[in-house]
């Protein structure tokens, strides 16, 4: 484990047998990996760092402990935070303070989406509230059979505001189901998550899920990083733009990317049936 990646409540590892793959683990298992403020900030720092780390080509994200990927926001800590802004009495000033706070939180989640390397998330156990916000900012979602998902925010009197309502419908592509689970806060399991396309696959338990995540991440890390990172970026761009705009952006992007030596490296090794090697990125 690199010293550069020592952040409280997170373990970041670079397993020797998974070349170019980083493993980020949420590590506050005693509290079901519930998030307190410092964890948001650390998570953003970690993914910002990985984004440009030339030794990393794909990332696996998981939660430590048997019980939870993350049970969501640490409600107790969060309500104290809210209380602090309660000292303001003017509703408009309180609103300003809350808005700044929300935007800062959102930005930490968006760091995962902005990370230039693909992120595969392996979920298990309690995966509630911000577990959904967080996982919709990753690229591929896997889960264990025992996972308990829930967009729980309405249960505590608020509309989810750090990503779920913006990203979940675009991730699963089905508004009817999203509205049902977001407006009722009812929990749903791994099979339902698979059926609606929220997760790509379901595995027997936490370990098998993480192993599967590494398998996918390994595969991504074995490909040209120019190709993989370009593909992630263009897919994220396309989600928010028209097809015509997507094509135009792709053309400009690839006008530089196609000049890479990775293309001939990939073609050559394809013909010669050997594994290509790609320069760092």
Q: Which residue number, 9 or 266, has a Cβ lying nearer to a copy of itself?
A: 266
Among 133, 34, 25, CA closest to 79: 34
* Eight-state DSSP code of residue 156: G
Asked if residue 199 lies in contact with residue 140, where contact means CB atoms within 8 angstroms, the answer is no
Q: How far is CA 92 from CA 85, 89, 201, in A?
A: 12, 9, 45
CB of 37 to a copy of itself, least distance (A): 16
Asked if residue 129 lies in contact with residue 73, where contact means CB atoms within 8 angstroms, the answer is yes
Contact region with a copy of itself (CB under 8 A), list: 10-18, 27-35, 39-47, 238-246: 238-246
Among residues 20, 177, 188, 214, the one that binds a copy of itself under rule CB under 8 A: 177
Instruction: Considering only residues 35 through 74, tell me which ones interact with a copy of itself, judged by CB under 8 A.
Output: 52
Could you say whether residue 257 binds a copy of itself (CB under 8 A)? yes
Contact region with a copy of itself (CB under 8 A), list: 25-33, 41-49, 88-96, 206-214: 88-96
Instruction: Considering only residues 130 through 149, tell me which ones interact with a copy of itself, judged by CB under 8 A.
Output: 139-141
Q: Which residue number, 208 or 281, has a Cβ lying nearer to a copy of itself?
A: 281
Could you say whether residue 82 binds a copy of itself (CB under 8 A)? yes
CA distance 209 to 202: 7
Among 75, 98, 102, CA closest to 156: 75
Q: Is 46 left (phi over 0), alpha (psi -120 to 50) or beta?
A: alpha
Could you say whether residue 243 binds a copy of itself (CB under 8 A)? yes
Among residues 1, 38, 66, 103, the one that binds a copy of itself under rule CB under 8 A: 103
Could you say whether residue 263 binds a copy of itself (CB under 8 A)? yes
Could you say whether residue 18 binds a copy of itself (CB under 8 A)? no
DSSP helix/strand/coil, 100:
helix
DSSP helix/strand/coil, 181:
helix
Strand segments, DSSP code E, in 16-57 are 21-26
CB of 231 to a copy of itself, least distance (A): 4
Contact region with a copy of itself (CB under 8 A), list: 34-42, 65-73, 153-161, 203-211: 153-161
CB of 108 to a copy of itself, least distance (A): 12
């Amino acid at each position: 484990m690199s010293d550069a990646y020592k952040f409280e409540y997170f373990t970041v590892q670079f397993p020797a047998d998974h070349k170019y793959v980083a493993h980020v683990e949420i590590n506050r298992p005693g509290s079901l990996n519930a998030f307190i403020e410092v964890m948001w900030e650390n998570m953003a720092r970690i993914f910002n760092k990985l984004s440009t780390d030339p030794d990393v080509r794909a990332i696996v994200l998981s939660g430590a402990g048997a019980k939870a990927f993350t049970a969501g926001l640490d409600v107790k800590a969060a309500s104290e935070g809210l209380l602090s802004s309660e000292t303001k009495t003017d509703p408009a000033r309180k609103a300003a303070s809350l808005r700044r706070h929300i935007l800062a939180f959102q930005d930490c989640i968006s760091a995962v989406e902005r990370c230039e390397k693909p992120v595969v998330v392996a979920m298990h156990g309690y995966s509630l509230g911000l577990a959904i916000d967080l996982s919709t900012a990753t690229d591929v979602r896997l889960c264990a059979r025992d996972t308990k998902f829930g967009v729980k925010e309405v249960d505590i009197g608020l509309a989810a505001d750090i990503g779920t309502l913006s990203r979940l419908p675009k991730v699963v592509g089905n508004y009817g189901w999203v509205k049902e689970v977001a407006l009722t806060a009812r929990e749903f399991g791994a099979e339902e998550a698979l059926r609606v396309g929220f997760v790509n696959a379901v595995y027997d338990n936490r370990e098998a899920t993480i192993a599967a995540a590494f398998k996918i991440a390994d595969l991504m890390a074995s490909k040209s990083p120019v190709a993989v990172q370009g593909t992630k970026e263009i897919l994220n761009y396309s989600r928010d733009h028209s097809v015509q705009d997507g094509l135009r952006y792709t053309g400009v992007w690839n006008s530089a990317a196609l000049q890479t030596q990775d293309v001939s490296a990939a073609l050559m090794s394809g013909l010669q049936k050997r594994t290509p090697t790609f320069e760092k990125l």
